[in-house]
Structure 1
Amino acid sequence: EHKGPRFGSLIHGQNLRDVVITGRNGTIDGQGKQWWTKYLQKRLNNTRGPLVQLMWSRYVEISNITLRNSPFWTIHPYDCRDVTISNVTILAPVSNAPNTDGIDPDSCQDVVIENCYICVGDDGIAIKSGWDQYGIHYGRPSTNILIRNVVVRSTVSAGISIGSEMSGGVSNVTMENVVVWNSRHAVRIKTALGRGGYIRHISYHNLTFDNVLVGVIVRTDYNEHPDEGFDPQAVPVIEDISYNGIHGREVRFPVQIHGSEDIPVKGVTFRDFSVGIAYKKKHSLHFQCAFVQGRAIGAIFPAPCENLDRYDEEGHLVKRSATPNNTDRL
């Protein structure tokens, strides 16, 4: 947002062990409206602070509490290990509340996010690991993250995002039993040249979409950078992404995977995928793909990318893709 120092967070901790933030369903209100107004009016010279920020800490539990109206990101664990966020409600207006992400694990390891309801003005959950050359130099990945039994709404952004700040790497992430409703994007991966790092071993299982613009989206052209010092030769890797048991209704575009010649998307698997389409125009009745390699197993609706190999339910090859790296129906 701005270079230099940041405003402090309401709840902040560093180098802690055995942290518990809980409230018997009580509420912490960040009173973010004045911060959002000043930001939108360009009256701030420093980045706003999160509502809860814990850094370089271990054995963290946040549970049974409502957090609302954060000035900036709501929960931001940074370079933490063994984090559990459970039975938490996170609320902010769905418009004119910029950057009010719900939960942003950043260079964190061994994280569980479960049984949460999130309705905010930006990404519901965004997994990060550093931005461009700074994230590459720090070199702390986000890994071993489980997100389950979560309901998310984000009308201006995504229910769950990975990136775009992922330069330290993101791996071994499982999302299961997730509902995304009334949102712009359901699940999103975003990166760009200059990020470096990797996004790999990502599993989406048993997800439901209801009234979203784009169900599954992967972007490799998210070209925001902190400064001019990034290395355009730092190419991120995206591989081994699985979508299994994805269902929904009133989805405008079911799948958009925008790989590129520099950043192909490899090892994608679709299985048990059925999404009802809103606005049944020709360009929305199929997946939209470019520079993607992978497979579609069994019955898939709507029609999957032609650049994916097709397998039957028993795992037998039915049709090999003839165009694994070409633009397909964009």
Structure 2
Amino acid sequence: MLQMTSRQSFQSLRILLLLLSCAGSDKFWHTCMVGPSLADDCRGSNGARDSSIPMDFHQSIFGHVKSKESCAHTVNDWERRPYSFSIIDFGAVGDGTTLNTHAFERAMLSLSNYADKGGAELYIPAGRWLTGSIRLISHLTLFLESGATILGSEDFNDYPLIPGLPSYGRGRELPGSRYSSLINGDGLEDVIITGNNGTIDGQGAVWWSSFRSKTLEHTRGHLLELIEAQDILISNLTFQNSPFWTIHPVYSKNVVVKRVTILNPLNSPNTDGIDPDSSQYVCIEDCYISVGDDAISIKSGWDQYGTGFGMPSKYIRIQRVVAFSHTSAGISFGSEMSGGISDIEVDDMVITNSRWGVRFKTSVGRGAYIRNVTVNNIVMHTVRTAIAVMGNYGEHPDENWNRTAYPVIENILVGNIVGENITQAGLLLGLPDAPFHDIHLTKVVLDTRTTKQGPWNCSWVTGFYNFVLPKPCPELTMENSNG
């Protein structure tokens, strides 16, 4: 341990020690560290979930965010628009049972008249505002007051069908069209979705049940999806119970997601947290994510459709995130990466109670590339596989995928990693016809259990390592270092 002299290494160790000390407090560990308990125990006297607890835990690790470096340089924080209206002005009723879809439609139509006057704010006061799909407009601030909940309808008919994304060629789950998301927009600019820690609740249980029983007729919608959007800020809100992926910016640029809490049950199917998809200049910071699939997953289209569309995900920064994912990864890349993924920086994450820590997933048929990715300063606690770079994730949209479209995986740096209670250190499994190149591991210390495969399992991969415990597989070459 004395060789871990970098600031990042000591910070990783400090955070790990904090987690271990947290484990000594049964109440705090139970309510704030174990994902399923968030749905059951973090509730106030009125039965509402206390979403301040996760962000309190985030702050106990990373400190006050105002003193930290921000990657949100290009999108201004929330500023009051020159015009503001309450959803009540358009006939909405916040009793949790009255359907307010038409009230939101009237509001968007009215507020669009202020687009050339600095835009307008739609204020959501305390209450439970039941609604179907909401289509946003440009130059809008959607502000949810403390105690306000936008509540997704449980009637599938309240979500209009829309075409599958061109980079996917169909709905992600089923061929053909898909359900629109609870909150959505297409071609938007200058949109702020924020509040005083209000809540957007997708009431996803009916969607999860239909998925499990195989009675879905179309792909589920997301909780929030913005298509071809730019200059977007999402902050200071709780998103929960998403039907499918939670926050999905696709074909978008200049997107900031910060100070957001995402709470989906750990057994809810495919409820990814934040999925930048064929998007550029994305900043994700200071978030707490507990979900039923990948906490954060960077994507860029699926097989021949993604290759043909040709829009990469790049220039993405992720920092200071707490992630839980019992069935999947804290941070993943792919598997839909056929438009390419590059120039990604991940720094300062705590990943706990997860199937995977850091995961790269692709397969034959994807084509394109994942390159120039840095994952740095990560603490893991109770993770089954800490680091995985794999080429066997072989789900395809149809039978027309290209059997010779090999992905290129290269120039991946994973460093300053500390892990406690790790089952397996890593899987580095390339493709025989397209080995993965330049995989760099530096300053990685993992407390692993004994497995039949050993701490590392590697094939068709080359790269380097420097100060890695347990020692990685012989496919990687030890790199000389003076540090």
Which TM bucket (shorter chain)?
A: over 0.9
Amino acid at match of 2:418: H
Shift of 1:292: 1.0
Identity level (%): 46
Aligned to 1:268: 439
Aligned to 1:310: 478
8 Å CA contact retained: 2:192, 2:233:
yes
Pairing 1:137–2:308 present: yes
Match of 1:292 among 423, 446, 461: 461
Pairing 1:193–2:361 present: no
Pairing 1:23–2:191 present: no
Match of 1:147 among 289, 301, 318: 318
Give the whole-Å Cα distance in 2 for the aligned partners of 1:217 and 1:2. Answer: 28
Shift of 1:309: 1.5
The higher radius of gyration belongs to: 2
What SS is found at the alignment partner of 2:453?
helix
8 Å CA contact retained: 2:179, 2:221:
yes
Aligned to 1:283: 453
8 Å CA contact retained: 2:424, 2:451:
no
Give the whole-Å Cα distance in 2 for the aligned partners of 1:236 and 1:207. Answer: 26
Aligned to 1:69: 241
Give the whole-Å Cα distance in 2 for the aligned partners of 1:252 and 1:139. Answer: 38
8 Å CA contact retained: 1:296, 1:309:
yes
Shift of 1:43: 1.0
TM-score, reference length from structure 1: 0.93
Give the whole-Å Cα distance in 1 for the aligned partners of 2:433 and 2:205. Answer: 41
Give the whole-Å Cα distance in 1 for the aligned partners of 2:479 and 2:314. Answer: 30
Give the whole-Å Cα distance in 2 for the aligned partners of 1:7 and 1:303. Answer: 48
8 Å CA contact retained: 1:9, 1:53:
yes
Give the whole-Å Cα distance in 2 for the aligned partners of 1:262 and 1:223. Answer: 15
Give the whole-Å Cα distance in 1 for the aligned partners of 2:387 and 2:213. Answer: 33
8 Å CA contact retained: 1:27, 1:66:
yes
- Provide, for residues 206-253 of structure 1, a one-character-per-residue CA deviation record: whole Å limited to 9, x for no partner: 011100000001110111000011111111100000011011100000
Shift of 1:263: 2.5
Aligned to 1:320: none
Pairing 1:118–2:289 present: yes
Amino acid at match of 1:237: V
What SS is found at the alignment partner of 1:283?
coil
Amino acid at match of 2:194: T
Amino acid at match of 2:224: V
What SS is found at the alignment partner of 1:215?
strand
8 Å CA contact retained: 1:220, 1:263:
no
Aligned to 2:421: 250
Consecutive unaligned residues of structure 2, counting only runs of 5 or more, are 1-172
Amino acid at match of 1:289: C
- Provide, for residues 86-111 of structure 1, a one-character-per-residue CA deviation record: whole Å limited to 9, x for no partner: 0000011101x111100010000000
Amino acid at match of 1:104: D
8 Å CA contact retained: 1:127, 1:163:
yes
8 Å CA contact retained: 2:242, 2:264:
yes
Shift of 1:283: 3.2
Match of 2:261 among 80, 86, 89: 89
Shift of 1:282: 5.6
What SS is found at the alignment partner of 1:136?
helix
Alignment root-mean-square deviation, CA: 1.0
TM-score, reference length from structure 2: 0.63
Choose between structure 1 and 2: higher helix proportion: 2
Give the whole-Å Cα distance in 2 for the aligned partners of 1:131 and 1:166. Answer: 6
Count of matched residue pairs: 311
Consecutive unaligned residues of structure 1, counting only runs of 5 or more, are 316-330
Aligned to 1:180: 351
8 Å CA contact retained: 1:86, 1:114:
yes
Shift of 1:307: 1.4
Using the TM superposition, name which of 132-141 and 254-263 deviates more.
254-263
Amino acid at match of 1:60: I
Where has structure 1 moved over 2 Å in runs of 4 or more? 280-284
Shift of 1:57: 0.8
Amino acid at match of 2:216: L
Amino acid at match of 2:431: S
8 Å CA contact retained: 2:423, 2:451:
no
Give the whole-Å Cα distance in 2 for the aligned partners of 1:47 and 1:75. Answer: 16
Give the whole-Å Cα distance in 2 for the aligned partners of 1:38 and 1:260. Answer: 36
What SS is found at the alignment partner of 1:135?
helix
Pairing 1:53–2:248 present: no
Shift of 1:187: 0.9
Aligned to 1:325: none
